[in-house]
């Protein structure tokens, strides 16, 4: 498994340990990734044992969830998205485009491991409402697009078969498309979970033409090399998400080593995927704070 494949498998195991997936469903999803029964069972067991042995803040009060009264940040001014396609390195790429009324910059949005769904489109719409034209790319375009998969688990499995280098090509194509649609504007990239990991991968590949990058709780690649990268990086983590937040120190060291402007934020009492208001780990307080930090970062490094 490459690091992103391993991350997806670990995420499935963690969801099972946290009670979000039954063992049967977790085993099914791991099998879609190509793990045999014995390997999948061993992964679930090791994840459970690791959780039992770790001294993590999981015993803290449960984070706020999507059942809370707060509206997701930015929704009041969100702008509509429209489907678009453009030429990629190996075929047509698909995405959702949201045009800001008076664009202060442009942002590429990288989805979670379920592909381009309505929630990701909503993020692009919210960014456009805040003044940043946004393109949410569908990294399953070469597989027919996310809409070709009725089962989100199959979409996740399909993503795991794509070579990391192809993701880089597709994201760079998305950046080029943004520059065409928002001429003269600086470009930023934001990604969530799996997409946050891809933001780190893009930074390691140089992130040409990117002025600001914001990975939300994304896994850090091994030995990241940010040589040649010019982006200002805001990395956002959840305090309860020990699996990903444990890489914070290594991320900080790498960013500092290569001289990148950076800020690493750990939201208290927030877990993995806390920004996704359609998921069980949504934390309204942390999401509101992270949204404001994101907008402040984009204003500082993208706005004219």
Tens-place pLDDT, residues 11-59: 999 999 999 999 999 999 999 999 999 999 999 998 887 766 554 444 3
For position 178, which CATH number holds? 3.40.50.1820
Examine the domain organization and report whether 207 and 279 are in the same domain.
yes
Given the structure tokens 């003269």, which residue do they identify? 184
The answer to whether position 202 is within a domain reads: yes
Q: 54: which 2 tokens?
A: 């770790």
pTM: 0.93
* Cα–Cα dist 170/144, whole Å: 14
The answer to whether position 245 is within a domain reads: yes
User: Residue 19 belongs to what domain range?
Assistant: 3-52
Q: Look at residue 50 in the predicted model and tell me its pLDDT.
A: 72
Examine the domain organization and report whether 140 and 276 are in the same domain.
yes
Q: Look at residue 291 in the predicted model and tell me its pLDDT.
A: 98
Examine the domain organization and report whether 39 and 89 are in the same domain.
no
Pick the residue with more confidence: 304 or 136? 136
Q: Look at residue 1 in the predicted model and tell me its pLDDT.
A: 78
Residue 62 clears pLDDT 80, i.e. is over it: no
CB-facing half-sphere around the CA of 236: CA atoms within 13 A: 28
Examine the domain organization and report whether 185 and 249 are in the same domain.
yes
The number of distinct structural domains making up the chain is 2
Residue 63 clears pLDDT 80, i.e. is over it: no
Examine the domain organization and report whether 44 and 109 are in the same domain.
no
The answer to whether position 69 is within a domain reads: no
pLDDT digits (tens, 9 = 90+) for 237-285: 999 999 999 999 999 999 999 999 999 999 999 999 999 999 999 999 9
Examine the domain organization and report whether 151 and 37 are in the same domain.
no
Please measure the distance between the N-terminal and C-terminal CA atoms of the chain and give it in whole angstroms. Answer: 42
* Cα–Cα dist 300/304, whole Å: 9
The answer to whether position 76 is within a domain reads: no
**Pair 58, 102: CB distance under 8 Å:** no
The answer to whether position 115 is within a domain reads: yes
The answer to whether position 58 is within a domain reads: no
Examine the domain organization and report whether 231 and 276 are in the same domain.
yes
Examine the domain organization and report whether 46 and 88 are in the same domain.
no
Examine the domain organization and report whether 152 and 37 are in the same domain.
no
The CA–CA distances, whole Å, from 233 to 37, 252, 267, 298 equal 40, 10, 16, 10
Examine the domain organization and report whether 104 and 154 are in the same domain.
yes
Q: Partners of 83 in the beta sheet?
A: 96
pLDDT mean across residues, the chain: 92
pLDDT digits (tens, 9 = 90+) for 92-115: 999 999 999 999 999 999 999 999
Examine the domain organization and report whether 11 and 120 are in the same domain.
no
The answer to whether position 67 is within a domain reads: no
- Percent of the chain, pLDDT > 90? 87
Examine the domain organization and report whether 180 and 36 are in the same domain.
no
Compute φ and ψ for 206, nearest 5 degrees: 110, -30
What confidence tier does 70 reach under pLDDT thresholds 50, 70, 90?
low
């Amino acid at each position: 498994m490459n690091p992103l494949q391993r991350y997806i498998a670990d995420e499935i195991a963690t969801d099972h340990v946290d009670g979000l997936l039954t063992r049967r469903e977790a085993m099914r999803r791991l099998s879609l990734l190509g793990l045999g029964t014995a390997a999948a069972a061993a992964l679930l067991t090791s994840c459970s044992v690791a959780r039992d042995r770790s001294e993590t803040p999981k015993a803290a009060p449960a984070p706020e969830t999507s059942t809370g009264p707060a509206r997701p940040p930015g929704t009041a001014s969100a702008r509509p998205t429209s489907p678009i396609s453009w030429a990629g390195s190996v075929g047509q790429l698909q995405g959702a485009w949201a045009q800001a009324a008076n664009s202060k910059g442009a942002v590429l949005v990288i989805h979670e491991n379920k592909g381009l769904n309505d929630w990701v489109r909503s993020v692009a719409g919210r960014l456009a409402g805040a003044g940043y034209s946004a393109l949410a790319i569908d990294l399953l375009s070469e597989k027919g697009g996310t809409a070709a998969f009725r089962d989100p688990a199959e979409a996740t499995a399909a993503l795991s078969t794509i070579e990391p280098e192809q993701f880089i090509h597709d994201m760079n194509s998305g950046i080029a498309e943004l520059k065409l649609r928002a001429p003269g504007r600086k470009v930023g990239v934001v990604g969530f979970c799996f997409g946050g990991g891809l933001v780190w991968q893009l930074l390691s590949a140089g992130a040409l033409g990117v002025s600001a990058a914001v990975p939300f709780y994304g896994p850090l690649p091994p030995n990241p090399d940010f040589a040649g990268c010019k982006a200002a990086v805001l990395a956002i983590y959840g305090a309860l998400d020990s699996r990903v937040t444990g890489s914070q120190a290594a991320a900080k060291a790498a960013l500092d080593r290569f001289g990148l402007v950076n800020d690493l934020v750990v939201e208290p009492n927030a877990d993995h995927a806390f920004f996704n208001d359609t998921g069980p780990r949504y934390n309204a307080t942390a999401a509101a704070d992270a949204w404001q930090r994101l907008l402040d970062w984009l204003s500082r490094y993208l706005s004219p």
